[in-house]
Chain A
Amino acid sequence: MSVTVRLPTPLRSAVGGERTIEVDANDLASLQREIAARYPELGARVLRDGAFGRFVTVFVDGEDARFLEQNADLSTAKVVEILPAMSGG
């Protein structure tokens, strides 16, 4: 099952300038594994010990991935977005 991953500008250089990449994954765990295997440069920047690091926020169809289980089903997900952390108020 292929998932569309949308990347912010500062990350695009890690995947040859693409805005989005297609990754074969059924759940978060396999998404992280596939990124590490197929896009090692991207993986080096967004993954820490195999999981998404604390300085990026990952959204699955708008839901913060930190609220999802590692085995959450991604088969119906339309888009996964990776964003750097933001300040606020």
Chain B
Amino acid sequence: MTTTLEEITALRGLRCRACGALQPADERYICGECLGPIEPEYDLDIFDAETLRVDIERGPASLWRYAPLLPVAPPTSHWPVGWTPLIEAHRLGDALGIERLYLKDDTRNPTLSFKDRPVAVALARALELGLDTIACASTGNLAGAVAAAAARNGLRAFVFVPADIEPEKIASAAAYGATVVRVNGPYDAVNRLCGRLADEYGWGFVNFTLRPYYAEGSKTVLFECAEQLGWTLPHHIVVPVGSGALLTRQATAANQLRATGLVPESHFHIHAAQPAGCAPVSDAVLDNWRPVEPVRRPETLAKSLAIGAPADGDGSVKIVRETRGSAASVSDDEIREAASLLATTEGVLVEPAGGVVVATAKQLASRGVFHAGETVVLYLTGNGYKGGPEETALGPVIAADADAFRLAYEEVLA
């Protein structure tokens, strides 16, 4: 089994993305010089590609198989987060006109969203720091992930959410024993409150005071895609954008996979998917790569992506540009239609954010962005059982009678 990390620590420190200062991995969560975002930096030269590949392949069936490329030691008791299936999607591919289409089905994590990944890494860091309470501001999915991880590790959890998110998400976070605080106003107001509370309480706010560690967990989505494709990068990934942390870390992951020699050089494009009611990143990309302008009042079916002032917004635009990717902003109707198309062609039920990704892929395909023979991976980050677009149109309730069935469902039977 892999003991690589305990023996070799590749973490050099945390580097500021704004001013470039390298700082030690202590309790700081933003640059001490300029307040810019700081990110773990690794000494990737220490790895031998073949040894690292074998270590990873022998590792646990969870994101901790990539522990050598994460900024924390893996916890002693593994929770099966990550290592989700990469599914070939021929029927959806035919419908969208994409030859080699794959679904990265991250709806199958312990709390049914990809947020279990960043939380796993943030939580490992919280334990290293000896914190007894973790917290977050959330559009819904992060709340459940934090609540469940806290429960499993015997920590206290506070989760702060906009009051209007899906009731299923609020209820499940509460079921794990977290204190769920519903706040009036959009996500950005919840974030502001948490910024203030982080100052007053010494809690580990996963997306704030633990953010440099939290964001690293998202790299593992691409690590897995590459391994599942036989240690090669896909040509295209379509990524939903809320705060932009997921998208930007896919570029980090690609760079680390190449730098360690785990994958060969190849052309790799990152595309941003956002709902029209809150598309600060896609709009900036499509408007000739201008700076991100925050959205004051996000209004969209895809509540999990309703972040008007994304922290990694400009970073996302930069990454899309550097990888020669693109973006789309899709309407609520396109989201519904795409989520339904995915469910009815592939048997995968997603929350509206997944519909945003499928609808974006459809737009990109019709614009001719994907070429013949190129692999396209759609990131499906949240499960439809946590509150799909809306109640599916149902037929009438009938008596337990065959004729009543035939009469009521005449059209479907025809």
Contact = CB atoms under 8 A, between A and B. Distances in A.
A67 B186 CA distance: 15
Contacts of B18: 55
* Most chain B beta-carbon neighbours within 10 Å: one of A45, A57, A66, A84: A84
Interface residues of B, number: 46
B32 A10 contact: yes
B80 interface: no
Given A8-B195, A83-B195, A88-B242, A56 B207 contact: no
B304 interface: yes
A83 B200 CA distance: 13
Interface stretch (B126-134, B135-143, B359-367): B135-143
Given A10-B30, A54-B314, A55-B18, A87 B215 contact: yes
Interface string A22-40: 0000000000000000000
Given A89-B139, A89-B307, A84 B35 contact: yes
B294 A88 contact: no
Contacts of B28: 10
B36 interface: yes
A74 interface: no
Interface string A47-80: 0000001111101001010110000000000000
Given A10-B35, A45-B35, A64-B309, A88 B138 contact: yes
B139 A67 contact: no
Contacts of A81: 192, 195-196
Contacts of B158: none
A11 interface: yes
Contact of A88 (B31, B139, B189, B199): B139
B325 interface: no
* Most chain B beta-carbon neighbours within 10 Å: one of A55, A62, A86: A86
Interface string B1-31: 0000000000000000010000000001111
Interface in B181-238: 187-189, 191-192, 194-196, 198-199, 207-208, 211, 214-215
A26 to B, nearest CB: 24
Given A55-B18, A88-B191, A45 B142 contact: no
Contacts of B141: 89
Nearest to A59: B192
Contacts of B211: 86-87
B39 to A, nearest CB: 11
Contacts of A88: 137-139, 142, 187, 191, 207, 242-243, 245, 307, 310-311
B161 to A, nearest CB: 11
B48 interface: no
B309 A87 contact: no
Contact of B294 (A6, A9, A66): A66
Contact of A86 (B34, B36, B137, B246): B137
Given A10-B28, A45-B34, A66-B309, A87 B139 contact: no
B141 to A, nearest CB: 6
A9 to B, nearest CB: 5
Given A84-B35, A86-B211, A64 B312 contact: no
A70 B144 CA distance: 40
B296 A67 contact: yes
B192 A62 contact: yes
A64 B243 CA distance: 16
B33 interface: yes
B207 A86 contact: yes
Interface of B: 18, 28-37, 115, 137-139, 141-142, 187-189, 191-192, 194-196, 198-199, 207-208, 211, 214-215, 242-243, 245-246, 293-294, 296, 304, 307, 309-312, 314
25 contacts: A45-B33, A54-B314, A55-B30, A55-B31, A57-B195, A64-B296, A83-B196, A85-B37, A85-B311, A86-B191, A86-B195, A86-B207, A86-B211, A87-B207, A87-B208, A88-B138, A88-B187, A88-B243, A88-B245, A88-B307, A88-B311, A89-B138, A89-B243, A89-B245, A89-B246
Given A85-B311, A87-B243, 20 more contacts: A10-B28, A10-B32, A10-B35, A53-B35, A54-B314, A55-B31, A55-B34, A55-B36, A57-B195, A62-B192, A64-B309, A85-B30, A86-B243, A87-B207, A87-B214, A88-B242, A88-B243, A88-B310, A89-B115, A89-B139
- Listed from nearest, the 5 A-B pairs whose CB atoms lie closest are A88-B243, A83-B195, A85-B311, A87-B207, A89-B242
